[in-house]
Amino acid sequence: MTVGGGAGGAPSAIDPKKLRVYGLAGALVGIYLAAILNSVLGTDIFSILAAAGAVAAAVMGANAVRRVCGYGIGTGVPSIGMLALGMGIVGASFGLSTAEQLGISMAGVIIALVYAMVFGYIVGAIANKVMGFNIPIMEEGLTDLSGAGAMAIIGWSYAVSGSLAYADMVTKVFNTGYLAIIFICGGLAILHPFNANLGPDEKQDRTLVNGLMVGSLATVAVGLCSLATLSTTAALITIVIGAAAWYYFYVWYYRLVKRDAAAVVGTGLLPPSAL
């Protein structure tokens, strides 16, 4: 945690509205494509698509953290990431269980998303109006974060359970305790990108590539869990694709670090100006 200050207004090359569309659409398409392909073809090997959707949502969440925390919330970065997943879990559980009660489990994701975003807006309004944060984009940021949290939870949970039915989620994700890794690894995927790049020379592309990298790592973790719940083929597909994506994004991230750093040296004393 740090008090080092944020990016002060957070200038961004990619418009947050565009990222929101990419993130939410990516998550919905990923989860629904996985659900439809799996049920139509009677397999579970497409579960990776839901995890990919979760990564898209996490990147959108990372951008929302960046925007909100750019107003100088240094030590609050980890807290807001945990808050995002907390709100997301409420939304996801509500959406999936309501849909199951109504007998339309496929609609659970949409219900969860809408409910989570409304919930996030209310939490943001309370943070601003009652607790007096006075951050202009607080409501918008927490709406995004809550939606991203819900999509991340559902996407990665689907990659473990292979089903959108709430009963399957309970037996395969909640009762086994795999929700714990989805919660903490998903939370880190949303909070780590901005936290790890905090500082006056933070750049949006570097932060978001870090988000993709951590999201891919979370996919590997979820893949390891799915060894116990899905077929071995499906689990291995998730692990291998997750690991390959992680490697790709880590190398990309390192390239951006070399681009942005004052200097990357093998070894050496302090910079001449500081000795």
Partner 1 sequence: MDALSMGLVAAMGALATVAGASEDIESDIGSQSNPNSQVQLAAQVGNPHRIYNKAISGEPPANALWATTAAVVAYTLITKFAMPALFAIAIGASVAALFNGVFSTSAYFGRSASQRRFNQWIYLDIVRYTTTSIMAHAWITAFCITCIAYIQTAILTPHHPFPMPVIALIWGLTVGAIGSSVGDIHYGGEREFQWRLFGQGLNTMLSGQIVRKAEAGLRNSIDNAWFCTKLGGPLTGLGFGLTVFLDNWRTTVFDPVTQAGLAIGMGLFFVIIMNLYNFYVETSIRKKYGPYPGYKGDIAA
CB of 1 to partner 1, least distance (A): 5
Distance CA 51, CA 215 (A): 9
Which of 2, 101, 134, 233 is close enough to bind partner 1 by CB under 8 A?
2
Distance CA 199, CA 210 (A): 15
CB of 257 to partner 1, least distance (A): 4
Evaluate whether 143 touches 120 at the Cβ level (below 8 Å).
yes
Site residues (CB under 8 A) for partner 1, limited to 95-124: none
Which of 71, 115, 166, 183 is close enough to bind partner 1 by CB under 8 A?
183
Window contacting partner 1 (CB under 8 A); options: 42-50, 99-107, 139-147, 245-253:
245-253
Burial class of residue 110 (count of CB atoms within 10 Å of its CB; 0-12, 13-18, 19+): middle
Size of the site for partner 1 (CB under 8 A): 65
If you compute the radius of gyration of the chain from its CA atoms, what whole number of angstroms results?
Answer: 19
CB of 111 to partner 1, least distance (A): 26
DSSP 272: G
CA 176 from chain center: how many Å? 22
Site residues (CB under 8 A) for partner 1, limited to 17-76: 75
CB half-sphere exposure, 51, CA atoms < 13 A = 35
Q: What is the contact mask toward partner 1 in residues 212 to 241, using x (rule: CB under 8 A)? A: -xx--x---x--xx-xx-------------
| Nearest CA among 71, 75, 66 for reference residue 8 | 71
Which residues form the interface with partner 1 (CB under 8 A)? 1-5, 75, 77-79, 81-82, 175-181, 183-185, 187-188, 191-192, 195-203, 206-207, 210, 213-214, 217, 221, 224-225, 227-228, 246, 250, 253-254, 256-257, 260-271, 273-274
